[in-house]
C-alpha cells in the first residue's frame, strides 16, 4: 500500500532560498553611476575599487570587501570613484514556499534575509564577496557536481548574511545607553530631562541625542511623546478614566496638552480614537493570531517560537503575515515592529515575561493590550480581542453557532458508552507526565461534552475553572487518576522521537490499569488536540464526537 509521506523539511515552514540572477558590473568613465531598483532583494558585493551607494538620504561608502543587502523595490544609486573604478556583483535573492508539503492551515515564515525592509550594510566581508564572485564564475555549471557546489556556496552566503545581521544587533547594544532608555521607558509619566538621561548613560547632553537616535531612530523627546501617547491609547481602549485623568497618568499637565500631542502623533483627537479600527496588529504567540483571523483581521505580525498551532481551517489563509521568532532580542523585535508600522500589540504579560520582553520596551512601537492567558478561557479571549478591534457582533455570532454545535455534539455523545465513563486525559512529554484539566483537549471533553474527569481532576476544575490546565504526576500515581477510558497524547522530543513514552507504556503501572487491560486507550495527535483557540476547539469537538460515537 502506498503511503503519503510529508517532507520533514516542511515542518519549519521557512521558505526556500534561490539565486534568481547574478550580474557582473564595472564602472566606466562613460557610466560612473548605476541605478538599482529590483523587484527582489539584491546583494551587492564589491570585489575591487571604491564608490558609494545612496538610498534616500543615507550614503554608504563602499570599498573592496563591502557587502550591502538592498530590499526589493528600493531606489538606490551607485556612484564610482574614477580614481578607483568599481567592480561589483549583483545577486538577486528569491524565496519560494514548499508548496508540496504544506498542510492545511500552516503558516509560512518570512525570510529574514530576503523579506526585510531594512538596508543591511557590512563594510568588510571579503569572504562573502569572494563567494559571490565564485558563484558568478561558475554560473553555468558544466556538471552536476558543480551545480551542487553552487547551491552550497549560495546557502553559505545566506548563512553568513543571517549571522551578520544577528551580530550587528548584538554589537549595537550599548549597556549605558540601554540603561537610560530603559529608565525612560519605565518613568515616562514623570518629569524627565535630557540631562538626567545623559547622566545615566555617562555621555554629554549633545552626544546623548546623537547616540539615542542611532539606537532608536527617534529623538529623546519624540520617543518620550510616543511612550506617553501610546499609554494614553491603552487607557482609552480599556475605558480607564476621563481624558483629564488619562493625561495626568501619562505625564501631561492637562487634557488639552495631551490632545495636542495625541493629534500630532495620530492625526486624530483622543476623543475619537477608541472608535477607530486597527488594520496592522501584532500578536505575541499563535493562539491570538487565530482569534484575529476568525474575526476577519489578518495580523500583520506574529511573535512566537512556533507557527505550528496556527489553525486557519475554514478561514482564508494568511497572505502577508510576518513571523518574528520570539527568541529574537527585544531590540530586534522592536525594530521589525516599527518597520511594519504596527498600530497595536496584543499580548499576555505571562508570555512577555517568558520571552524576556515587557510592555515598557514595546510601548514605543505601539500601544499594548494585555489579554491574560491562563486566567481566562478561549471564549473570553475571543470576546476581549473582538471588543478591542470592534468586532464584537462577529464574535458573538460565531460563539452562538458554536454553542449550537456543542449542544448537538453533547446529545450525540450522551447516547454513547462514554457518557457513563470516567475519562482521563494523559499527556506524556519528554520531561513530564501530566493529567489535563479544563484547557486544550480537556475543554472539549469535560466542558463542551460534559464527560466526567477523574475525581481529583474534577475537584480542581470546580475550584479553578478555566485556569486549571493540568497537574504533573509520577508514574506511580497513574492508578489514582486512571478512569474507564484514557486519552493519551505524546509530545515528541527535540529530535522527533517518542521513545520516552516507552517508560510509561512498558511499565507495570501502565499494564495494570483497567482501561489498558480492556483496550480503552486512544492515542491522539498533539497537533490536532492541543491547540487552544476557537478554530481548533471547534475541530476538536468534531473529532471528539467521532471518537466516542464510532464503533
Cβ atoms of 344 and 367 closer than 8 Å: yes
Q: How many domains does one find in the chain?
A: 4
The alpha carbon of 35 is separated from its chain's Cα centroid by a whole number of angstroms, namely: 35
Q: Would you state the pLDDT for residue 318?
A: 72
What average pLDDT score do residues 72-95 get? Answer: 87
Q: Are strands 423-428 and 322-325 parallel, antiparallel or unpaired?
A: unpaired
At residue 7 the predicted structure's pLDDT band, cuts being 50, 70 and 90, is: very low
Residue 403 lies in a domain: no
Distance in angstroms (rounded) separating the CA atoms of residues 462 and 452: 12
Residue 184 lies in a domain: yes
Q: Would you state the pLDDT for residue 3?
A: 40
What average pLDDT score do residues 59-74 get? Answer: 88
Q: What share of the chain is helix, strand, coil (3-state, %, to 5)?
A: 45, 20, 35
User: H/E/C letters for each residue in 102-120?
Assistant: CCCCCCCCCCCCCCCCCCE
465 lies in the same domain as 544: yes
Please list, residue by residue across 12-32, b when 16 or more beta carbons sit within 10 angstroms of its beta carbon and e when fewer do: ebbbebebeebeeeebeeeee
Which of 116, 135, 169 marks a domain boundary?
A: 169
What average pLDDT score do residues 520-548 get? Answer: 93
Q: Got the DSSP string for 164-229? A: HHHHHHHHT--HHHHHHHHHHHHSTTS---HHHHHHHHTS-HHHHHHHHHHHHSS-HHHHHHHHHH
pLDDT at 369 over 90: yes
320 lies in the same domain as 376: yes
Cβ atoms of 343 and 366 closer than 8 Å: yes
At residue 275 the predicted structure's pLDDT band, cuts being 50, 70 and 90, is: low
Q: How far is CA 28 from CA 52, 84, 330, in A?
A: 15, 10, 45
Mean pLDDT (the chain) is 87
Q: What is the pLDDT of residues 149-190, one digit of tens each?
A: 999 999 999 998 888 777 665 554 456 888 899 999 999 999
68 lies in the same domain as 158: yes
Distance in angstroms (rounded) separating the CA atoms of residues 208 and 180: 10
Q: What is the pLDDT of residues 450-459, one digit of tens each?
A: 999 999 999 9
Query: Shortest CA distance to 208 belongs to which of 188, 227, 184?
Result: 184
122 lies in the same domain as 194: no
At residue 85 the predicted structure's pLDDT band, cuts being 50, 70 and 90, is: confident
Residue 84 lies in a domain: yes
Residue found by looking up cell 563602499 in the block: 62
358 lies in the same domain as 324: yes
CATH classification at residue 162: 2.60.120.10
DSSP for residue 17? E
Q: Would you state the pLDDT for residue 6?
A: 42
Q: Would you state the pLDDT for residue 355?
A: 87
Q: What is the pLDDT of residues 127-156, one digit of tens each?
A: 999 999 999 999 999 899 999 999 999 999
Cβ atoms of 224 and 187 closer than 8 Å: no
Which range of 74-88, 200-214, 515-529 scores highest in mean pLDDT? It is 515-529
Q: Would you state the pLDDT for residue 4?
A: 42
Residue 275 lies in a domain: no
Strand partners, 51: 62, 80
Q: Would you state the pLDDT for residue 326?
A: 85
What average pLDDT score do residues 45-67 get? Answer: 87
The alpha carbon of 104 is separated from its chain's Cα centroid by a whole number of angstroms, namely: 19
Which of 390, 423, 458 marks a domain boundary?
A: 390
CATH classification at residue 425: 3.40.50.1980
Q: Is the four-CA dihedral 149, 154, 156, 159 of positive or negative sign? A: negative
* Entry pTM: 0.73
Residue 276 lies in a domain: no
298 lies in the same domain as 241: no
Q: In the numeric block, which cell numbers belong to residue 542?
A: 468534531
Torsion of CA 28, 31, 35, 38, to 10 degrees: -60
Assign residue 293 a region (left: φ > 0; alpha: ψ between -120 and 50; beta: otherwise).
Answer: alpha
Distance in angstroms (rounded) separating the CA atoms of residues 515 and 421: 11
* Domain range for 133: 8-169
Distance in angstroms (rounded) separating the CA atoms of residues 331 and 203: 21
Q: What is the pLDDT of residues 334-345, one digit of tens each?
A: 988 998 999 999
At residue 106 the predicted structure's pLDDT band, cuts being 50, 70 and 90, is: very low
297 lies in the same domain as 355: yes
32 lies in the same domain as 154: yes
Q: In the numeric block, which cell numbers belong to residue 11?
A: 515542518
Phi, psi of 141 (to 5 degrees): -60, 140
Residue 399 lies in a domain: no
105 lies in the same domain as 142: yes
162 lies in the same domain as 85: yes
321 lies in the same domain as 462: no
Residue 540 lies in a domain: yes
- Residues whose CB is less than 8 angstroms from the CB of residue 285 and which lie 6 or more positions away in sequence, other chains included: 302, 303, 304, 326, 347, 348, 351, 373
Residue 398 lies in a domain: no
Q: What is the pLDDT of residues 491-509, one digit of tens each?
A: 999 888 999 999 999 999 9
Which of 122, 142, 169 marks a domain boundary?
A: 169
Query: Shortest CA distance to 545 belongs to which of 411, 359, 431, 437?
Result: 411
Distance in angstroms (rounded) separating the CA atoms of residues 238 and 336: 26
437 lies in the same domain as 314: no
Q: Would you state the pLDDT for residue 84?
A: 79
At residue 412 the predicted structure's pLDDT band, cuts being 50, 70 and 90, is: very high
Q: Is the four-CA dihedral 134, 140, 144, 148 of positive or negative sign? A: positive
Amino acid at each position: 500500500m502506498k503511503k503519503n509521506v510529508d517532507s520533514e523539511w516542511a515542518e519549519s515552514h521557512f521558505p526556500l532560498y534561490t539565486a534568481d540572477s547574478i550580474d557582473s558590473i564595472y564602472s566606466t568613465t562613460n557610466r560612473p553611476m548605476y541605478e538599482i531598483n529590483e523587484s527582489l532583494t539584491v546583494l551587492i558585493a564589491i570585489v575591487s575599487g571604491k564608490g558609494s551607494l545612496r538610498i534616500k538620504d543615507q550614503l554608504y561608502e563602499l570599498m573592496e570587501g563591502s557587502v550591502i543587502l538592498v530590499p526589493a523595490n528600493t531606489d538606490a544609486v551607485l556612484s564610482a570613484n574614477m580614481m578607483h573604478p568599481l567592480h561589483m556583483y549583483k545577486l538577486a535573492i528569491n524565496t519560494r514556499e514548499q508548496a508540496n508539503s504544506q498542510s492545511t492551515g500552516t503558516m509560512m515564515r518570512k525570510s529574514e534575509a530576503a523579506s526585510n525592509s531594512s538596508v543591511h550594510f557590512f563594510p568588510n566581508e571579503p569572504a562573502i564577496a569572494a563567494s559571490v564572485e565564485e558563484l558568478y564564475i561558475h554560473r553555468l555549471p558544466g556538471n552536476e557536481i558543480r551545480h551542487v557546489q553552487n547551491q552550497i556556496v549560495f546557502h553559505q552566503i545566506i548563512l553568513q548574511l543571517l549571522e551578520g545581521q544577528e551580530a550587528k544587533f548584538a554589537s549595537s547594544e550599548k549597556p549605558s545607553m540601554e540603561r537610560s532608555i530603559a529608565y525612560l521607558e519605565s518613568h515616562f509619566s514623570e518629569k524627565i530631562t535630557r540631562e538626567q538621561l545623559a547622566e545615566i548613560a555617562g555621555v554629554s547632553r549633545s552626544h546623548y541625542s546623537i547616540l539615542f537616535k542611532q539606537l532608536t531612530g527617534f529623538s529623546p523627546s519624540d520617543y518620550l511623546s510616543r511612550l506617553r501617547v501610546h499609554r494614553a491609547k491603552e487607557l482609552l481602549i480599556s475605558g480607564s478614566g476621563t481624558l483629564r485623568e488619562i493625561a495626568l497618568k501619562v505625564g501631561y499637565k492637562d487634557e488639552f496638552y495631551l490632545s495636542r500631542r495625541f493629534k500630532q502623533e495620530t492625526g486624530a483627537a483622543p476623543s475619537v480614537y477608541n472608535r477607530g479600527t486597527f488594520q496592522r496588529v501584532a500578536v505575541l504567540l499563535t493562539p491570538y493570531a487565530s482569534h484575529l483571523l476568525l474575526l476577519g483581521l489578518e495580523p500583520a505580525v506574529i511573535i512566537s517560537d512556533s507557527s505550528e498551532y496556527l489553525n486557519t481551517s475554514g478561514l482564508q489563509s494568511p497572505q502577508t503575515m510576518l513571523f518574528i521568532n520570539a527568541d529574537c532580542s527585544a531590540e530586534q523585535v522592536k525594530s521589525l515592529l516599527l518597520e511594519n508600522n504596527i498600530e497595536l500589540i496584543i499580548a499576555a504579560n505571562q508570555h512577555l515575561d517568558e520571552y524576556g520582553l515587557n510592555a515598557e520596551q514595546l510601548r514605543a512601537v505601539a500601544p499594548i493590550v494585555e489579554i491574560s492567558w491562563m486566567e481566562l478561557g478561549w471564549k473570553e479571549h475571543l470576546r476581549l480581542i473582538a471588543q478591542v478591534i470592534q468586532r464584537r457582533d462577529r464574535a458573538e455570532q460565531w460563539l452562538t453557532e458554536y454553542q449550537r454545535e456543542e449542544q448537538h455534539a453533547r446529545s450525540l455523545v450522551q447516547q454513547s458508552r462514554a457518557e457513563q465513563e470516567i475519562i482521563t486525559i494523559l499527556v506524556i512529554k519528554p520531561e513530564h507526565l501530566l493529567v489535563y484539566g479544563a484547557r486544550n483537549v480537556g475543554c472539549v471533553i469535560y466542558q463542551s461534552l460534559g464527560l466526567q474527569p477523574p475525581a481529583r481532576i474534577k475537584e480542581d476544575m470546580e475550584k479553578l475553572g478555566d485556569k486549571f490546565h493540568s497537574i504533573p504526576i509520577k508514574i506511580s500515581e497513574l492508578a489514582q487518576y486512571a478512569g474507564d477510558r484514557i486519552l493519551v497524547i505524546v509530545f515528541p522530543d527535540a529530535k522527533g522521537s517518542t521513545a520516552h513514552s516507552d517508560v510509561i507504556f512498558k511499565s507495570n503501572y501502565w499494564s495494570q490499569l483497567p482501561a489498558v487491560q480492556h483496550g480503552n486507550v486512544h492515542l491522539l495527535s498533539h497537533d490536532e488536540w492541543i491547540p487552544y483557540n476557537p478554530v481548533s476547539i471547534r475541530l476538536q469537538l468534531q473529532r471528539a464526537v467521532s471518537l466516542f460515537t464510532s464503533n
